[in-house]
Structure 1
Amino acid sequence: MTDTAVGRAHTAPGGSDRPLTEAYDTALLDLDGVVYAGPHAIRHAVASLEAARGVGMRLAYVTNNASRPPRVVAEHLTELGVPAEAADVINSAQAAARLVAEKVPAGSKVLVVGGAGLEEALTERGLVPVRSMTDGPLAVVQGYDPSVGWQHLAEASYAVASGLPWVASNTDLTVPTARGIAPGNGTLVAAVRTATGVDPEVAGKPLPPMHRETVIRTGAQRPLVVGDRLDTDIEGAYNGGVDSLLVFTGVTTPAQVLTAPVRHRPTYLAADLRGLLVAQPEVTALGEGRYRCGGYEAWVDGGRLLLSGGGEDPYDGLRALCGAAWAAADADGAVPDGSKALAELGL
């Protein structure tokens, strides 16, 4: 079994002889859907993070949500039982503000479409946040905030149409809340794009500006990205050339992992953040498209994923299924049907 599975492109989930808390020095944790959903902690998150910190792993919280300043997020985490300082939180507002600061002179006014998180990040960079075109901004920055409405989007549209540089903190189409999945910043960006015909420069995950911001602020040497989204967290890890752990406490389903293209394939899979605290089982290629993990064996026949064996952890079955599904997709481009196999696992 390998010590850790290192590399960007994965043909099967990886294995680690050691708990991930020992194999990596820093966990770069997404927040929404990983640590909390709205005001409530995700099940097992608080105890798992406490245990990870206790054995020396640094915890950094990396989020595309630009609505709240880092200190407010840190206070929320602390209230949930996850002690954190403002410096432990890196958000897409900070990455967006750095991009804007590279485009305009120091002290410039910037039109903000979003919340206090964007305003604070701009101020940190020596820029002046404003809310109207009449204030004479030299750029536009847009991020998620529940308060954003038609008037804000119209103001952004006027500014973008006038030719001002436009930076979006992220383009996530959805955001998990305590009540379910809600529209994210990507839907608000789409409104301005539709009105102007212009595309913004995007700062957040999965794009390089966010990874750059994270590395600058954390100094991580052996980081592990931990997230619940394939198109932001896992693709961001792929783009940054670092390993990733996908947890199933947010928006991604096991069925979606089976059909993931190369850039969306995580290194490791776990039900929740307890996966940080344990070694990861190896997925073994047996030949002829068959893969084994734990007591499970998976393969493709007639365009369908098949599963045999069993074990205590259904996620071992999912890991084996990923190996078979990803290998089949890479070989002929066809995505096998895994619905029956997932039902057998209760996933």
Structure 2
Amino acid sequence: MATLLDRHDAVLFDLDGTVYHGHRPIPGAAEAVAHVRDRGRAVRFVTNNAAKSPDAVVEHLASVGVAAGADEVSTSAQAAAALLGQRLPTAAEVLVVGTESLVAEVRAVGLHPVREHGPGIAAVVQGHSPDTCWADLAEACLAVRAGAWWVACNVDATLPSERGQLPGNGAMVAALRAATGTDPDVAGKPEAPLLRTAADGAEARSPLVVGDRLDTDIAGAVAAGHHSLVVLTGVATATQLLRAAPGERPDYLAADLTALTRDAGPEELEIGPHPGWRITVAGGHATVTSDGDGDPVDLIRHLCHRAWSEQVTSVRPGDATAERALASWDLT
């Protein structure tokens, strides 16, 4: 039987919410990554976090039991620097709002990073840093208002942590957008450059993007023209999936990365009808009844299939088994 990995020659893993939560490993993630390697598929770790260098990401992965090399890491800082390097002349001045890792990436593509606005600023690049303050945004504001090209590493509004969701780079980008009336070009997910660069680095023709966020990981995969698998270990919820816009809909759904270790067939993980559940839609209301011992994740796959093709405004159970399954997904 053909498996999902037989369809793809590389797996592009998101990190936070997919492989780990901050400094806590997600159960089964390390084994899943190892299994993908054992199957001879290239592995890439693709992160919108621009605060860490590839070496720091490798160190972080090692701390949660995942082996990786720096050449297997693709960050939004690298993607932003590559974008700047493609369009700006050598040694052009770029005002950096972000960590020293972002400074290093800008320098690596032959540009001259600075921290203060001046007459020679060609561009502003903005990535997440916990040390970004009003003064940093003020310098960037002056440069953008003076006509500098503005590139954001990513626009994630939040950043996952052990304490919960914290302000991400997108929150700081929003502040600068409000102050300048300008929108940045975005290098990271949900735009295509980061994922395409990662796929090219793996020499992949049919990569699979795996992530936990519809608005970044899955939307980025759609933008890049790649197939995608969403896992329910991070931000995405069943409710979000049912309401997902066309540009944020995954091809496959799994509870977590252990689905990759089971060598499941593509049809087992695909969004679409699945045995064990019957769904009828009338007047925008979907009624779910059980048909045997159905898998709760299969229920979401099946519901997404119906919700994405028909107008579904509410979901209700038709029997006790369906009621318990829907309650487990907060859909009642």
Structure 1 length as normaliser, TM-score? 0.86
Q: Which amino acid counterpart does residue 74 of structure 1 have in structure 2?
A: V
Counterpart-to-counterpart distance in 2, 1:202 and 1:77: 26
Contact 1:318–1:342 (8 Å) recurs in 2:
no
**Corresponding residue SS for 1:216:** helix
- Structure 1 residues 55 and 342, CA gap change in structure 2 (3 angstroms): farther
Counterpart-to-counterpart distance in 1, 2:315 and 2:101: 41
Q: Residue 193 of structure 2 aligns with which residue?
A: 209
1:327 matched to 2:286? The reply is: no
Q: Residue 214 of structure 2 aligns with which residue?
A: 230
Counterpart-to-counterpart distance in 1, 2:56 and 2:132: 19
Displacement, 1:51?
2.0
1:344 matched to 2:322? The reply is: no
Contact 1:170–1:204 (8 Å) recurs in 2:
yes
**Corresponding residue SS for 1:210:** helix
- Structure 1 residues 218 and 339, CA gap change in structure 2 (3 angstroms): farther
Identity of aligned residues (%): 46
Displacement, 1:339?
6.4
**Corresponding residue SS for 1:176:** strand
Counterpart-to-counterpart distance in 2, 1:276 and 1:158: 48
- Structure 1 residues 135 and 147, CA gap change in structure 2 (3 angstroms): farther
1:282 pairs with one of 258, 267, 271: 267
Q: Which amino acid counterpart does residue 83 of structure 1 have in structure 2?
A: A
- More relative contact order in 1 or in 2 (CA 8 Å, sep 6+)? 1
Q: Residue 111 of structure 2 aligns with which residue?
A: 127
Displacement, 1:169?
0.7
Q: Which amino acid counterpart does residue 34 of structure 2 have in structure 1?
A: E
Consecutive unaligned residues of structure 1, counting only runs of 5 or more, are 1-16, 284-290, 329-333
Contact 2:212–2:230 (8 Å) recurs in 1:
yes
Counterpart-to-counterpart distance in 1, 2:50 and 2:156: 11
Q: Which amino acid counterpart does residue 267 of structure 2 have in structure 1?
A: E
Number of residues of Structure 1 aligned to a counterpart in Structure 2: 320
Q: Residue 2 of structure 2 aligns with which residue?
A: 18
Counterpart-to-counterpart distance in 2, 1:242 and 1:156: 34
Counterpart-to-counterpart distance in 1, 2:174 and 2:32: 37
**Corresponding residue SS for 1:171:** coil
Contact 2:12–2:199 (8 Å) recurs in 1:
no
Runs (4+) of structure 1 exceeding 6 A deviation are: none
Q: Residue 285 of structure 2 aligns with which residue?
A: 304
Structure 2 length as normaliser, TM-score? 0.90
**Corresponding residue SS for 2:258:** helix
1:267 matched to 2:251? The reply is: yes
Counterpart-to-counterpart distance in 1, 2:58 and 2:205: 23
Counterpart-to-counterpart distance in 2, 1:280 and 1:269: 12
The C-alpha deviation readout for 1:17-42, integer Å capped at 9, x for no partner, is 53323331110111111011111211
Contact 1:69–1:117 (8 Å) recurs in 2:
yes
**Corresponding residue SS for 2:197:** helix
1:77 pairs with one of 48, 52, 61: 61
Displacement, 1:256?
0.6
Displacement, 1:136?
4.2
Contact 2:97–2:115 (8 Å) recurs in 1:
yes
1:156 matched to 2:137? The reply is: no
Taking the TM superposition and a 5 Å limit, the aligned residue runs for 1:168-247 are 168-247=152-231
Contact 1:94–1:213 (8 Å) recurs in 2:
no
Counterpart-to-counterpart distance in 1, 2:149 and 2:175: 17
The C-alpha deviation readout for 1:292-344, integer Å capped at 9, x for no partner, is 3031222322322221224352101111111111111xxxxx34213656753
Q: Residue 317 of structure 1 aligns with which residue?
A: 299
Counterpart-to-counterpart distance in 1, 2:203 and 2:323: 39
**Corresponding residue SS for 2:273:** strand
Displacement, 1:146?
1.4
**Corresponding residue SS for 2:278:** strand
- Structure 1 residues 48 and 312, CA gap change in structure 2 (3 angstroms): farther
**Corresponding residue SS for 2:129:** coil
Displacement, 1:137?
3.0
Counterpart-to-counterpart distance in 2, 1:196 and 1:263: 28
The C-alpha deviation readout for 1:255-303, integer Å capped at 9, x for no partner, is 11011121111110000001222324638xxxxxxx7303122232232
Q: CA RMSD in A?
A: 2.0
**Corresponding residue SS for 1:18:** coil
Q: Which amino acid counterpart does residue 282 of structure 1 have in structure 2?
A: E
